[in-house]
Amino acid sequence: MPADLETAEPARPAIRRTGARQVRPATEGWQQQKGADGRPLLQFASPKRGKPPVHLADLKPEEWKGKAEELGLPGFRVKQLARHYYTRWTTDPAEMTDLPAAGREELVAGMLPPLLTEVKRLETDRGDTIKFLWKLHDGALVESVLMRYPGRITLCVSSQAGCGMNCPFCATGQQGLTRNMSAAEIVDQIVQANRVIASGALGGKKRDDHSQERVSNIVFMGMGEPLANYARIMQAVRTMVAPAPNGLGMSARNITVSTVGLVPAIGKLANEGIPVTFALSLHAPDDGLRDELIPVNSRWKVDEALDAARDYFDKTGRRVSIEYALIKDMNDHGWRADLLAEKLNERGHGWVHVNPIPLNPTPGSIWTASDLDVQREFVRRLEAAGIPTTIRDTRGKEIDGACGQLATEG
């Protein structure tokens, strides 16, 4: 193929192209790793590293007794232990007075080994958002962000240390994939957050707010691509939704699993029979831009990802969220709003809504906020085409820039 054709943009109707500036995605201050084909490297397999110790939350309840007995511990006591961990968020043997003192410490050490050590904590002025940096047993760093909203408390959790998806805008992507997190390391982020909330450390509670004082909503939007760590995130999700003492007793609909578009795994998720909320981080409706912005698009194209998202709706009846970070002069053009609406409407109505996410302004960077009037026009076009659209809160961003930044600095 002649070189000029190779690089040519696909033709689009003139109405879509306004001659507006087009900023191309590029890394700033770091080099994206490339594969033999010259494309950004994608890492799907977790590098082999020492696994974290097996923990109660890694196991199905029917496996608890056997595991404890394997360790020479009284298996019939594990249910009591689980109640302490999942409902009182404690791992302190001194607080577990219903367990016989003899052997209590051994039972805790064997079934609830420490997984996350807090390294750093950043809070907003009002204290209603807390970002945690955790160190894992092998020194890998991950983070979670706890946010109070009216009537709910949301925790943004990490699912991998680092990430192999190599998105050029992402601090986590620069690190590559260190390793998959275990199910218990994912769940422990919630248990630790619940402990912090119970201690009164999460601010911003209004007097008329009668929300339960524990994490009510989970978003898998911290470090990592959740669907690249499928088996462990699903074990974690099952633990989140299992009623106490088998798990945290959360509502599946309040758990959002997001992905940059790992199509086969979206299909698997749709067949799990657990109606979690599904979010597709799309960020561009055209392959020309998305190939550069989200490297996994070279594997599964926009249309395949949208077909999988629609299929998720068909199988679960859960409306899908499309996440779309609005980046100045890169993906915020009116024609892209029209194209997105067209692609969503082609697949039916009432199955999807769009969350544009305005970035924080970053002067001098190519990754900066769209102008307000551009944001409004983007939303207006989607709504005019009948697509429910809600600009998403960018809470947590005021603490740091992109996800993964804390761990990169750490």
Residues at the site binding ligand SF4, with contacts judged by CB under 6 A: 163, 165-167, 170, 172-173, 223-225, 260
Give the β-pairing of 217-220 and 177-180: unpaired
Per-residue DSSP letters for 115-134? Answer: --EEEEEEE-TTSSEEEEEE
What is the number of residues in the chain?
410
Closer Cβ to ligand SF4, 153 or 228, answer by number:
228
Burial class (CB in 10 A: 0-12, 13-18, 19+), 211: middle
Minimum CB–partner distance for residue 189 and ligand SF4 (Å): 15
The response to whether 281 counts as a known ligand-binding position is yes
Q: Measuring CA to CA, how many Å separate 75 from each of 59, 61, 80, 86, 399?
A: 13, 11, 10, 17, 44
Per-residue DSSP letters for 52-71? Answer: PPP-GGGS-HHHHHHHHHHT
Minimum CB–partner distance for residue 162 and ligand SF4 (Å): 8
How distant is the alpha carbon of residue 103 from its chain centre?
38
CA–CA dist 86, 400 (Å, integer): 30
The response to whether 282 counts as a known ligand-binding position is yes
CA–CA dist 379, 84 (Å, integer): 46
In 3-state terms, what secondary structure has residue 178? strand
Of all residues in the shown chain, the one whose CB is closest to ligand SF4 is: 173
| Residue at 226: amino acid letter | P
Catalytic, out of 143, 185, 292, 323: 143
Closer Cβ to ligand SF4, 284 or 341, answer by number:
284
Minimum CB–partner distance for residue 265 and ligand SF4 (Å): 13
Minimum CB–partner distance for residue 224 and ligand SF4 (Å): 6
Question: Has 403 been annotated as catalytic?
Answer: yes
The response to whether 360 counts as a known ligand-binding position is yes
Closer Cβ to ligand SF4, 27 or 90, answer by number:
27
Give the β-pairing of 277-281 and 141-149: unpaired
Tally of CB atoms within 10 A around 320: 23
The response to whether 225 counts as a known ligand-binding position is yes
DSSP state, residue 227: G
The response to whether 170 counts as a known ligand-binding position is yes
Minimum CB–partner distance for residue 297 and ligand SF4 (Å): 11
The response to whether 163 counts as a known ligand-binding position is yes
The response to whether 156 counts as a known ligand-binding position is no
CA–CA dist 403, 410 (Å, integer): 13
Closer Cβ to ligand SF4, 170 or 302, answer by number:
170
| Contacts of 167 by beta carbon, 8 Å cutoff, 6+ apart | 173, 260, 293, 294, 295
Catalytic, out of 156, 185, 323, 403: 403
DSSP state, residue 260: S
Minimum CB–partner distance for residue 396 and ligand SF4 (Å): 14
In 3-state terms, what secondary structure has residue 15? helix
Q: At what angle do helices 334-346 and 302-316 cross, to 10 degrees?
A: 50
Question: Has 185 been annotated as catalytic?
Answer: no
CA–CA dist 32, 338 (Å, integer): 31
Residues of each annotated binding site: 163, 167, 170, 224-225, 258, 281-283, 360
> Looking at the annotation, which residues are catalytic?
143, 403
Residues of each annotated binding site for [4Fe-4S] cluster:
163, 167, 170
Q: Would you list which residues are annotated within the binding site for S-adenosyl-L-methionine?
A: 224-225, 258, 281-283, 360
